[in-house]
Chains A and B, each alone.
Chain A
Amino acid sequence: MIYDIYMEVKKIGSDKDKKLGSFLEKLCQFSLEKGATAVGIISVNEIEFNEENTEHDIQNESLYWPYVTFNKDPISKILKAFKKALVFKICYLNSSSVNRLDTIKKVYEIAGKGEAYCFYNGYHLAVSLAAENCRTIYCQKENDCQSLTRGCGCRYPLIARPSIEACRLDRSKIIEILKWETDESKQNFMGMVFVD
């Protein structure tokens, strides 16, 4: 899925060699080619984070759901270290015959490939976010999230990702910044790639 393409690799250079602006344009184009309906670039300092906890369904708890809670690595604080992020969305018509699950998996695919594109082009710290709960997407037939067992790893390393909400980003604020319209006949699945 994510690894079915080859990417040109560039040697890691110094910061002065980077041209973030032009790279972000290429990343936008790349994401659209991979199936995103719309893309936008956002400054991370514009993003709002919602630190409040809400009640959640314990049954579907995973490493990344309902919230990403790494005690030594608070994710919202770390994401604020980035300057720019790509936001993309895939529109899903509620009346569509396309499987909803497949549409969400597409978000994971674009997020993963976008991150890989950054990695091989000198932005080695890029990180991406996908949609919903990866457990219900990839481990729906399993009894648990393997990562929650001490000493065990994820069943889908390099594929599973947290959602925007699970990292406490205010999704509606992002939509407002990008001036994306909301349409009740469509569901927008969003993903992000934090670049640099």
Chain B
Amino acid sequence: MKTKSKDETLAQDLINIARKCGAKDTMMISTEKIIIDPRVRLKCLVPPCSMSGICKNCPPYGLSHEQTMRRINKYNNAIFFKVEVDSKIIADQEVGDAFREYKMDKSGKLLILGAYQLLVFQIVALIEKRAKELGYKPSGYVAGSCKELLCFLHDNCTIMAAKKPCRHQDISRPSMESCGMDVFKMAAEVGWDIYPIGRSLNQDDVPRGILLGLVLIN
């Protein structure tokens, strides 16, 4: 009987966590497959995303792509996972408009989208927790801005407004894209279907949306 390597055992342990929590697909990838592109952060800044500038994790703040590359270079492997979201939720125009205007939509779908986004945050946090228990120093990255998800009921990011520690240090993490990771390309390269979702599309043209998370492990 072939004995599993330490890396394989670790991968299976962490992948199981993501799957049990609701990730549709999870894999361990080499950090060589993480695609960093300086143009990704520029997409947050030109034109300015509604989240841009309002929290410490998002551009123009957060990690530059060079800082991200230096961090990634300290690791060999990462857990990469996806959470699928019905296109009726993620590609709904009213949801997008409500999101950009910092208010709730009439049907409450933004709340549902927030729940999916929170799931990504939770999976990342749980994978990190398990990896730490096993003696590793993981570094997690989520999907979307932490401010409008975790601090929706607060006027501002406490780090930026009051120079105080983050309200949600246990779960708040920078998004993959805010660190310069080309999430679209990474998903396509591992064979996951990913569609560019925005205001100008018909949601019926998109089978589903996905939210992605990554945890650097070892």
Residues of chain A whose beta carbon lies under 8 Å from any beta carbon of chain B:
2-3, 5-14, 63-64, 68, 70-73, 75, 77-78, 81-82, 112, 116, 119-120, 122, 124-125, 127-129, 147, 150-154, 156-162
Q: What is the chain B residue whose CB lies nearest that of A155?
A: B48
The contact of A157 among B41, B52, B59, B194, by CB within 8 Å, is B52
Residues of A within 8 Å of B206, CB to CB, are 9
Taking each of A82, A147, A153, which has the highest tally of chain B beta carbons within 10 Å of its own beta carbon?
A153
**Can you sample 10 A-B contacts with CB below 8 Å?**
A8-B205, A9-B197, A11-B188, A64-B46, A72-B62, A119-B198, A124-B184, A125-B40, A128-B46, A159-B47
How many A-B residue pairs have C-beta atoms within 8 angstroms? Tell me.
Answer: 134
Q: Does B17 contact A (CB under 8 A)?
A: no
Residues of B within 8 Å of A78, CB to CB, are 38-39, 42
**Bound state CA distance, A2 and B182, in angstroms?**
25
Verify A12–B199 contact, CB threshold 8 A: no
Given contacts A73-B59, A153-B53, contact A120 B198 (CB under 8 A): yes
Verify B50–A153 contact, CB threshold 8 A: yes
Closest chain-B Cβ to A192's Cβ sits at a distance in Å of 11
Given contacts A63-B48, A124-B184, A151-B53, contact A72 B193 (CB under 8 A): no
Which secondary structure dominates chain A's binding surface?
loop
Given contacts A12-B185, A14-B189, A72-B59, contact A120 B37 (CB under 8 A): no
The 6 residue pairs across chains A and B that have the minimum distance between CB atoms: A72-B64, A154-B48, A157-B50, A3-B199, A125-B39, A151-B160
Residues of B within 8 Å of A8, CB to CB, are 201, 205
Verify B38–A153 contact, CB threshold 8 A: no
Residues of chain B whose beta carbon lies under 8 Å from any beta carbon of chain A:
37-43, 45-54, 59-62, 64-65, 100, 156-157, 160-161, 182, 184-185, 187-189, 193-202, 205-206
Closest chain-A Cβ to B85's Cβ sits at a distance in Å of 16
Given contacts A81-B37, A154-B48, contact A125 B198 (CB under 8 A): no
Q: What is the chain A residue whose CB lies nearest that of B44?
A: A73
**Bound state CA distance, A147 and B47, in angstroms?**
12
Q: A125-B43, A154-B47, A161-B46 known; 18 other A-B pairs, CB under 8 Å?
A: A3-B200, A9-B195, A70-B60, A72-B61, A73-B45, A73-B59, A75-B42, A81-B37, A119-B198, A147-B53, A150-B160, A153-B48, A154-B50, A154-B52, A157-B49, A157-B52, A158-B100, A159-B47
Verify B64–A73 contact, CB threshold 8 A: yes
Verify A6–B51 contact, CB threshold 8 A: no
Verify A77–B48 contact, CB threshold 8 A: no
Q: What is the chain B residue whose CB lies nearest that of A196?
A: B39
Residues of A within 8 Å of B52, CB to CB, are 147, 153-154, 157
Residues of B within 8 Å of A77, CB to CB, are 38
Residues of B within 8 Å of A70, CB to CB, are 45, 59-60
**Bound state CA distance, A158 and B47, in angstroms?**
5
Verify A127–B46 contact, CB threshold 8 A: yes
Q: What is the chain A residue whose CB lies nearest that of B185?
A: A12
Verify B161–A151 contact, CB threshold 8 A: yes
Verify A120–B196 contact, CB threshold 8 A: yes
Verify B48–A116 contact, CB threshold 8 A: no
Residues of B within 8 Å of A71, CB to CB, are 60
Q: What is the chain B residue whose CB lies nearest that of A148?
A: B53
The contact of A12 among B46, B53, B194, B202, by CB within 8 Å, is B194
Verify A9–B39 contact, CB threshold 8 A: no
Residues of B within 8 Å of A82, CB to CB, are 39
Q: What is the chain A residue whose CB lies nearest that of B93?
A: A3
Residues of A within 8 Å of B187, CB to CB, are 12
Verify B41–A151 contact, CB threshold 8 A: no
